[in-house]
Structure 1
Amino acid sequence: MANTASGQPPTEVGQPANTIMPIATYANTLKPTPSNTKPIPLKPISYLHGEPRVLWDQEDINQMIINENLEYAVIGKFSYGWPDIQDLRRLIPKQCELKGECKIGLLSNRHILIRASLLEDYVHLLSKPAFYITQKSWSFPMRTLKWDPMFDPEEETTIAIAWISFPALPPNFFGRETIFSLAAAVGKPLQVDMATRNQTRPVVQE
């Protein structure tokens, strides 16, 4: 699926011809996107039928996700036992071949929360049906699920990541906005594959 493309938009009308545009490289795509953290203002307590409550709007919720480094958060589910959490913090980045830093914490019984720092790692973790975390002579299957604020460990999520392709797409439709517009008909676009990003496989776009 088209999952966050990199690259630069075309030069806008009126932009000086000698403006130097940054070059999109593979290394740049691996860098975490700077998060615009902002403080969440204190909310007043209101009452409904005598019960106190605090209300946040969706903008506040979205900012909380950024502030808590949950933009690329993934749930790891172990159904048949698991290593100690300290061992998981050491084993998962290496055995899952993560390229960036990540924070791993215990979320609930059988579930851990993996806060990836790179979009590429986020897509990688969600693209496989399961990872097998090996410790000594034991191998523990770990399923990965997309985290969201309404995650309930007692319920299976209905959200999944998928790759989609656009066979014989004309080259003039290779732009990020164009591919993301097409992919939005299926779900939320995240990233395009490397061949599409480098324009080395014009026969199909993913």
Structure 2
Amino acid sequence: MAISTGCQPPTEVGQPALFAKPVMSYAGLLKPTAISVKPLSLKPISYLHGEPRVMWEQDEIDQMIVNENLEYAVVGKFSYGWPNIQDLRKLIPKQCELKGEYKIGFLSNRHVLIRETLLGDYVHLLSKPTFYITQRNWSFPMRTLKWDPMFDPEEETTTTIAWISFPSLPPNFYKGISIFISSGSG
């Protein structure tokens, strides 16, 4: 075992430092960093080729997300029809088993924005590939997608959640280095 001189935990001899970092849980990966609600000041309008524009810094965008309660926002996508928005506001919390407070709003012709207050509800909505919203003997499939500030309803998302299972994997192979380094790398 190598001796560590800094704040990092010691790594095994021959083990890449990349895998020495602590492994984060699925919920930890989804959880946004905590920022308190702060008001934002008005931004000056500038012009580019005669077109007005407002420039925002990344920390200001992050603050807007917190101010608008979008940290735990999920997009619900209906590909084959959907109930009206008033019915969805009643059906989604019951049929998706939301436990905390929520707000559901119309985002586009096939998308709704679901803003939860509990991390558990957020993880639950993203953990299942499809929810079936049932109304009057009709079932409407709703896929859930992680919302981000660059969400465009006209484009398919490039982010997806994948569950990977290794049945009967011996415990000595649970460490990341065993799973993520392929034997074919040169």
- TM normalised by structure 1 equals 0.64
Question: What does residue 2 of structure 1 align with?
Answer: 25
CA contact (8 A) 1:40 1:60 kept: yes
Question: What does residue 120 of structure 2 align with?
Answer: 120
Q: What displacement does 1:35 show?
A: 6.0
Give % identity: 75
Q: What displacement does 1:158 show?
A: 1.2
Q: What displacement does 1:145 show?
A: 0.8
Larger radius of gyration: 2
| SS of alignment partner, residue 59 of structure 1 | helix
Question: What does residue 42 of structure 2 align with?
Answer: 42
2:109 alignment partner AA: N
Does 1:78 find its partner at 2:78? yes
C-alpha separation in 2, matches of 1:58 and 1:34? 15
Question: What does residue 146 of structure 2 align with?
Answer: 146
C-alpha separation in 2, matches of 1:145 and 1:86? 21
Could you say if the C-alpha distance between residues 167 and 54 of structure 1 is closer, same or farther in structure 2, counting changes exceeding 3 Å?
farther
Could you say if the C-alpha distance between residues 119 and 162 of structure 1 is closer, same or farther in structure 2, counting changes exceeding 3 Å?
farther
Does 1:132 find its partner at 2:155? no
Q: What displacement does 1:51 show?
A: 2.6
CA contact (8 A) 1:2 1:163 kept: no
Between 158-167 and 112-121, the greater mean CA deviation after superposition = 158-167
1:109 alignment partner AA: N
CA contact (8 A) 2:77 2:142 kept: yes
Aligned-pair Cα RMSD in Å: 2.6
CA contact (8 A) 2:104 2:113 kept: yes
| SS of alignment partner, residue 107 of structure 2 | strand
2:131 alignment partner AA: F
Question: What does residue 59 of structure 1 align with?
Answer: 59
CA contact (8 A) 2:76 2:144 kept: yes
| SS of alignment partner, residue 26 of structure 2 | coil
Q: What displacement does 1:36 show?
A: 1.3
1:2 alignment partner AA: S
Question: What does residue 13 of structure 2 align with?
Answer: none
Q: What displacement does 1:164 show?
A: 6.5
Give runs of ≥4 in structure 1 deviating > 6 Å.
Answer: 164-167
Q: What displacement does 1:47 show?
A: 2.1
Which has the bigger relative contact order, CA under 8 A and spacing at least 6? 1
Q: What displacement does 1:167 show?
A: 7.2
Q: What displacement does 1:163 show?
A: 4.9
C-alpha separation in 2, matches of 1:121 and 1:161? 16
Between 152-161 and 71-80, the greater mean CA deviation after superposition = 152-161
